Structure 1
Amino acid sequence: MASQYPDVKVITRDDGFSLSFQDRLILCHTPQSPCLWMGSGAADIEMFRGNFSIKDKLNEKIALTDATVTAQGAGWTIRFTRGDAVSATLLVGTDKQGRLELKLKNELPSHNRIWLRLAAQPADHIYGCGEQFSYFDLRGKPFPLWTSEQGVGRNKQTLVTWLADCKENAGGDYYWTFFPQPTFVSTQKYYCHVDNSCYMNFDFSDPDFHELAFWEDNATLRFDCAETYVDLLEKLSGLLGRQPELPDWVYDGVTLGVQGGTEVCQQKLDTMRNGGVKVNGIWAQDWSGIRMTSFGKRVMWNWKWNRELYPQLDERIPQWKREGVQFLSYINPYVASDKDLCEEAATRGYLTKDADGKDYHVEFGEFYAGVIDLTNPEAYDWYKEVIKRNLIELGCGGWMADFGEYLPTDTFLHNGVSAEIMHNAWPALWAKCNYEALEETGKLGEILFFMRAGYTGSQKHSVMMWAGDQNVDWSLDDGLASVVPAALSLAMTGHGLHHSDIGGYTTLFEMKRSKELLLRWCDFSAFTPMMRTHEGNRPGDNWQFDSDAETIDHFARMTSIFTTLKPYIKDAVAQNAKRGLPVMRPLFLHYEDDAQTYSLKYQYLFGRDLLVAPVHEEARRDWTLYLPQDSWIHAWTGEEYTGGEVTVQAPLGQPPVFYRANSEWRKLFDQLIAL
């Protein structure tokens, strides 16, 4: 029996059914190969400084072998059973925008686990699932989706990861990420998005199906299709929301990460500008003071201007702004337990609670902090006022809105929702708080905040992402190279604005940032939407932007390149705001008939017409990359190429960059050769 509705086809057979959407097979069920399992389990989740140990005490997992399909109204109800004791319901329909909508619900109260198998083809490639640092094509592996610290090293076969695990279980793994999201894109040109925020595991290991696991008793999935990947991302960003355009000053140079006080900021600013570096801002994360720990220099989590460390800051900010230099600060959704802002929040009842109803305090590395309960409307509005009063009124041109992934699962929230369910949703709620502070003060589009943590909803409210805390080394999983698949996977999840700390951040286990690494990262950063440096957690161990004259000259050159490209980058950002086209794009987005482009994870298109392949290995002065068939011009020599694998000279300051010969921006790109 077949029933036909627009775009959706459900075909029933004696032994099962199939469900297709716009000619893509989504579900296929028989008693021998069921598409649905139900079960029960108890989550065993332990957090230590944002690193999570997650286990499932699974009681049962039962295949629901029998399915009864009933056409109802504009959709179908499919009831799955296994004998008389186990049942579940799947509602099949379309939403108001014509997307396929699947609503799953366990009917047995004790069942709180779902495993759903989506049909797949062996040749499929899969992208997305938030920000993935180790893999771009996700096919062949499971990806647990849980916002957490990124992990140090992130490859269990490396010494650094082993040392981090031994020290505090912080080594991470290939799937650890600040920004997970239950959204993926298939090369069948459809996307799948899950509305839930529970712990999930998307397993793409099997050639014939994708198994999606949900630690909840219900799930809502949405699908849409398109003829091209460009159109598909436009539809996906239409569902999730799009980032607004960036403030104009972002394109005017590098934002210098500086710590140490007002005069240190002035001195470093003068040094860089006198050396010809184009500077658009000073980012001083220690504006609220510092706390020294064994990890290194940490920010004082009391979000008020520290007048002792930064005297006359209120006078210097407008002076710098007149000179075209913004002042950027730092905030996160936690307040240091030993400071007055936490005391005020506690007095007002604005902190999350423990099982005894007392304020919950989290250990963040030799100090504790309270968690602002953003589910409490009064606490949420109060924290927005902290942002408005202490950052915006001070004159900050932006800030890092850090963290968001540390919500403990055993804390209790004002809205009554389990913290296990709210954990993934938390960073998006934190983004919304910052966004609304800008919106309500009329500063959206003028002030910038950037985040590392995210989830569904961050597309609407996080105006810029940064890649988090990479190691100051050359490792593939946690160094410079890892930022490229991170940006591309996030692009395929609907967030098109991404940048990273120039030179990385994490400085542990004898790691020290070398001059070469900093310069190579600077080369790469000039071809991203934002250039920003970071001293790292141990500044004295790292090569810095002003460590010698050659480094300053290098920054002068690369910031000149970045600012020369300003009209092109602004246009790419505008396309992202209007259509959801990411600024850093996978090559197959525009060369979908080229099979080789689907496996490239360390090169990208910057906008439509620039191809960038960052050098991410030490002591290399040439580089091999792949060009899809087109007319390409090497940015530094003017030499023409038509496609295929090519090797070019790649000295410091000349990263492998090519532009399309027939680009409307050709005259602008031609200027690069003279820089």
Structure 2
Amino acid sequence: MMRVIPESHAVSLYRGDALLFRHSAEAPAIHVGRGQARFDMYRGNFEIEDYLEAREPLRHLEVLAEGDGHRLAFRRHADDALQLELRLETRGDGATLTTLYAAPGINRTWWRLAAEQGEHVWGCGEQMSYLDLRGRHFPLWTSEPGVGRDKSTYVTWRSDVENRAGGDYYHTNYPQPTFLSSRYYACHVETSSYADFDFRHEDFHELQVWAVPERLELFAAPSYLALVETLGARFGHQPRLPEWVYDGVILGLKRGKAHAEEKLDQALSADMAVSALWCEDWAGIRETSFGARLFWDWKASESRYPDLAGWCRELGERGIRFLGYVNPYLCVDGELYPVARDRGYLATDGQGGPAIVDFGEFDCGVVDFTSPDACAWFKDVILKANMLDIGISGWMADFGEYLPVDVALANGVSAEVEHNRWPTRWARVNAEAVAERDKTADATFFMRAGYTGVQAHCPLLWGGDQSVDFSRHDGIGTVITAALSSGLVGNAFHHSDIGGYTSLFGNVRSAELFKRWVDLAAFTPVMRTHECNRPGDNLQWFDSAELTQHLAHMSRVYRHLAPYLKAQVEEGAERGIPVQRPLFLHFEGDPEAYATQTQYLYGPDLLVAPVVEEGVEARDVYLPAGETWVHLWSGAVEAGGRRLQVAAPDGRPPVFFRQESAWRGLFESVPGRDG
């Protein structure tokens, strides 16, 4: 229960006996100030600086009882003008600090919540490098995540030098100003402005916002599972995945129709379980120094996919769906750009002309999703007529991070304020188009960008553009962290590009990496391959019989587990509980359950520990205490509460199930199991 203890010049907020927030003259929890920001964007990568003009504590507080809440009036000192006025309200399981007034000129605020030694903190959207955020700070600004994301590596250094694109541990496509604490509460800051959540201090967490936020929301629950469910209800639930998804792997191919037909036949001949073809080049290809890029003019390319509508029907008769690709930008050399420009559907440069954004050797206009007319046009012409109506059953809804801060928008709001909102606006446009064609249960789309509220619109996340390697901050292991962190704030369904995407500076995909990624993907809500940005330089599943057979085997494992997965998807759609879960979500009393981010629970009954390091034949696995675990492949029974080395040959990643699971019969008949 949340409770407020007011004093004449101080106020405290408790969850039970645990202090969450206290403001007093001696230890002010709120500071205000002014700053001048500089944002420099280059192809979705941002250099951000702040010239801080002032930061001052609001030491003087007057607390006034008002109805069932309290009005808090903050000044720098007793004789000062009013600087900030908040309303503090509590309910049984939460509290809200709502801004009623802020003095003109304040555009920086700092909010402190109480912290404890040994506390764990999670969330902040989709984080790639660290699941437990304690001990670090996290700037929250949607952007390209960077290539490499580790300043000590050659790939990151080279990316910084050549493309200003190296990134760091905190860069993410999907930030969100929401975190969960091991003290059984969560905090959400309602703002779209740049923020930086700092968890480095022993006694407090400091939440910096480059604005006066609308409110701070605090949620309490008796368990982590209940806390996640509360956040799911707050931000919205994703729809169930379409039934056809469970039929097998989605094959990512982007070399035209003839190539796709050939590789589909190869897959089916190998007894591969295939649910769909994902041909992101359906609208055409543009070759750049980065690799094979797409032609951003969203209509079927007759040269690459002649009579695509007819082919979608033919594939459907064989039980195979066709998926495409789209993003919220229009290339200036396409047919759709001048239509959108002439009708006023594009963001402008402030001088009356369309804002032009460099996407790497080609320029694009930005569809203005603050304009209802632009949204309706994009839905009707592109997503419905050009995609859904010809039989496309889903797509990658890419980007959403690139809104420049210097463009002018139809709603008159600063693009700096709209920037973080853009992924959610983009998700809503896609979701509405699908719903308006009554296909929410039959079509899907997946996104990498996100922000507060994206959960209610985006049915499926993917982990973004990982490097094609085992690197600590940008390789295969980061997709586990991404799934777990985003899942805690209400995103129940997550997956990744099998084999990774970004191949630069001689960094190419190995057979070992590809097989390890296939093994991981079989235990995620969706299996999907990707040819990556340089298909000709990188190994593909169809390049050898060994890789084809490996993918085929694990696709059958995925299909076999579909009944169990469907049950977890149902729980995700109804309650917002993620399919991939950190161990502590079910084992709160086991200290070791907090110490790992490279293994996870797949639903409540399967424990998955994928191999995410190069050149190893086994890996360390922790089996949580209080359960007896059964090795999925051998049937060996192991006691919980201990670590063990588990052999990890290709096609048999370390996976265990609870001995008492109601799904035991399904698990014991998995393809590839001994005996």
TM-score calculated relative to the size of structure 2: 0.97
Which residue is 1:43 aligned to?
Answer: 37
Partner of 2:272: 277
Cα distance in 2, alignment partners of residues 235 and 203 from structure 1: 24
- Which range is displaced more, 84-93 or 526-535? 84-93
Matched, 1:408 2:404: yes
- Check if 1:78 corresponds to 2:76: no
Asked whether the 8 Å contact 1:432–1:461 carries over to 2, the reply is: yes
The answer to whether 1:637 aligns with 2:634 is: yes
Partner secondary structure for residue 669 of structure 2: helix
Instruction: Look up the equivalent residue of 1:365 and give its one-letter code.
Output: G
Partner deviation per Cα, 1:55-106 (whole Å, 9 max, x = no partner) = 11111111111111111111111111113256211210147x9631111366
- Counterpart selection for 2:166 from 171, 190, 201: 171
Which residue of 222, 225, 228 corresponds with 2:220?
225
Q: Judge which range, 443-452 or 84-93, deviates more.
A: 84-93
Alpha-carbon contact 2:4-2:11 (below 8 Å) kept: no
Q: Deviations over 1:374-418 (max 9, x none)?
A: 000000111111200100011001100000000000011111111
Please give the per-residue CA displacement for 1:562-610, whole angstroms capped at 9, x wherever unaligned.
0000000011010001111100000111100001111211100001100
Gaps of 5+ in 2: none
Equivalent pair of 1:638/1:673 in contact (CA under 8 Å): no
Match of 2:608 among 608, 612, 622: 612
SS of corresponding position for 1:672: coil
Whether 1:660 and 2:658 are equivalent positions in the alignment is: yes
After TM superposition, list the pairs within 5 Å mapping 1:101-120 onto structure 2. 101-104=96-99, 107-120=102-115
Residue 472 (structure 1) aligns with: 468
Q: Is 2:23 the counterpart of 1:29?
A: yes
Question: Do 1:106 and 1:112's aligned partners in 2 also have CA atoms closer than 8 Å?
Answer: no
1:106/1:217 contact within 8 Å kept = no
Q: Count residues with an aligned counterpart.
A: 668
Which residue does the alignment assign to 1:338?
A: 333
Equivalent position to 1:555, from 540, 551, 556: 551
Aligned 8 A contact 2:556 2:671 in 1: no
Matches of 2:445 and 2:121 in 1, distance apart?
30
Q: 2-side partners of 1:312 and 1:346: how far apart? A: 29
Compute the RMSD of aligned alpha carbons. 1.3
| Alignment counterpart, residue 309 of structure 1, candidates 293, 304, 318 | 304
One-letter amino acid of the counterpart of residue 504, structure 1: G
CA positional deviation for 1:673: 6.1
Asked if the contact 1:517/1:618 (under 8 Å) is kept, the reply is yes
Alignment map for 1:37-436 (pairs within 5 Å): 37-83=31-77, 84-85=80-81, 87-94=83-90, 99-104=94-99, 107-385=102-380, 386-436=382-432
**1:447 lines up with 2:443 in the alignment:** yes
Q: Name the CA distance, whole Å, in 2 between partners of 1:395 and 1:94.
A: 50
**Equivalent-residue separation in structure 1 for 2:55 and 2:337 (angstroms):** 44
Letter in 1 for 2:32: M
Matches of 1:493 and 1:204, distance apart in 2: 18
Structure 1 residues 501-549: Cα deviation after superposition (integer angstroms, max 9, x where no partner) = 0000000011010011001000000000000000010011111010100
Which residue of structure 2 lines up, in the alignment, with residue 3 of structure 1?
none
Conserved? CA contact 1:22–1:225, under 8 Å = no
AA aligned to 1:65 is R
Could you tell me how far 1:218 is from its partner in structure 2? 3.4
Distance apart, 1:31 and its partner CA: 2.1
Q: Which moved more, 1:24-33 or 1:655-664?
A: 24-33
Q: Is the 8 A contact 2:2 2:90 kept in 1?
A: no
**Could you tell me which amino acid in structure 1 is paired with residue 633 of structure 2?**
W
Amino acid across the alignment from 1:175: Y
| AA in 2 matched with 1:400 | M
User: Residue by residue, what CA displacement relative to the aligned partner does 1:222-244 show, whole Å, maximum 9, x if unpaired?
Assistant: 11111111111111111111111
1:520 maps to which of 512, 516, 523: 516
C-alpha distance in 2, partners of 1:475/1:361?
35
C-alpha distance in structure 1 between counterparts of 2:584 and 2:211, whole Å: 35
- Write the letter of the residue equivalent to 2:43: R
Residue type matched to 2:3 in 1? V
Select between 22-31 and 258-267 the one with higher mean Cα deviation.
Answer: 22-31
Which residue number in structure 2 is paired with residue 535 of structure 1? 531
Gaps of 5+ in 1: 1-5
Corresponding residue SS for 1:393:
helix
Query: After superposition, what is the alpha-carbon deviation per residue over 1:592-640, rounded to whole angstroms, capped at 9, x for unaligned?
Result: 0001111211100001100001101112111111110111000111101
Report the Cα distance in structure 2 between the residues aligned to 1:387 and 1:99, rounded to whole angstroms: 40
SS for the counterpart of 2:219 is strand
What is the one-letter code of the residue matched to 2:35?
Answer: G
The letter for the 1-side match of 2:152 is Q
What's the CA shift for 1:312? 2.7
Pairing partner for 1:670 from 668, 671, 674: 668
Q: Any conservation in 2 of the 1:281–1:328 contact (CA below 8 Å)?
A: yes
Q: Give the C-alpha shift of residue 107 in structure 1.
A: 3.0
Q: Give the Å deviation of 1:452.
A: 0.5
**For residues 13 and 352 of structure 2, what CA distance do their matches in structure 1 show?**
48
Q: How far 1:42 sits from its partner (Å)?
A: 1.3
Give the counterpart letter for 1:157 in structure 2.
S
8 Å Cα contact 1:105-1:218 kept in structure 2 = no
Alpha-carbon distance in 2 for matches of 1:585, 1:195? 25
Q: Distance in 1 between matches of 2:486 and 2:558?
A: 22
- What one-letter code is carried by the residue in structure 2 that aligns with 1:575? E
| C-alpha contact 1:605 1:612 (8 A) present in aligned 2 | yes
C-alpha distance in 1 between matches for 2:356 and 2:5: 51
- Tell me the equivalent position of 2:14: 20
